Amino acid sequence: MKFPVFIYFFFEKLNFSYWTSTTVKANHYICCVPAEINQSLNSVLSHEFYLNKSQLLEATAFDLTNQQLVDNDFFFFLKKNNVVSLYSYFFFFLKKRITFFMHTSNKIKSAESFYSNANWLEREISEMFGVTFLLKKDSRNLLLDYGTNYNPFLKKFPATGHSEVVFNSFLKTTVYSPIATTEL
């Protein structure tokens, strides 16, 4: 079976210049789309008759900083922005999985209003990669301390970290101290 025709019509209505579809397996397709259509894409996927029985399987991002890409590489047009996000959906009526890769400008509209599990997935992307999600109800950190302003999954993050955290059992407090590195 071919790529779902409903999504072709959606792409035609948006009238943007680039998108690519390649088949990974017999029932798995990959599309590259701009991040500006994330809200409208999720709206169509959750309300269209043949697409509304769908599930958001995963959402993540990855950093392409200093990545050597060739001209015919799949991710070549995504190289403009260093961080690329992806959303992977499974459609039960079609029995197909479609993964959408998106340019990650620093702000993306959230898919939380259409898929409830997007809350946790987008909070993790926001925390680890520094992507800001608009229209998000809960933007607290999941893994890092509240108030931290660094993103550990970016390639520009230092390998040694910023501070050392030690629990002082005598004072019953957490002590943050800067890391002192010695050069040999």
Is residue 80 one of the residues assigned to a domain?
yes
Is residue 32 one of the residues assigned to a domain?
yes
For the chain, the domain total comes to 1
Is residue 106 one of the residues assigned to a domain?
yes
What's the confidence (pLDDT) of residue 39? 85
What's the confidence (pLDDT) of residue 77? 57
Is residue 30 one of the residues assigned to a domain?
yes
Is residue 114 one of the residues assigned to a domain?
yes
What's the confidence (pLDDT) of residue 123? 92
Three-state SS for the chain is CCCCHHHHHHHHHHCCCCCCEEEEECCEEEEEECHHHHHHHHHHHHHCCCCCCEEEEEEEEEECCCCCCCCCCCCHHHHHCCEEEEEEEEECCCCEEEEEEEECCCEEECCCCCCCCHHHHHHHHHHHHCCEEECCCCCCCCCCCCCCCCCCCCCCCCCCCCEEEEEECCCCEEEEEECCCCCC
Is residue 113 one of the residues assigned to a domain?
yes
Is residue 183 one of the residues assigned to a domain?
no
Range of the domain at 70: 5-155
CATH of the domain at 82: 3.30.460.80
Is residue 181 one of the residues assigned to a domain?
no
What's the confidence (pLDDT) of residue 164? 80
pLDDT (tens, 9 = 90+) of the chain, 184 residues, equals 565 655 665 666 555 545 566 677 778 888 877 778 888 888 888 887 777 788 999 999 988 777 776 665 555 556 666 788 889 999 888 888 888 888 776 788 899 999 989 999 999 999 998 888 998 888 888 888 777 778 888 888 777 766 788 888 888 898 888 877 666 5
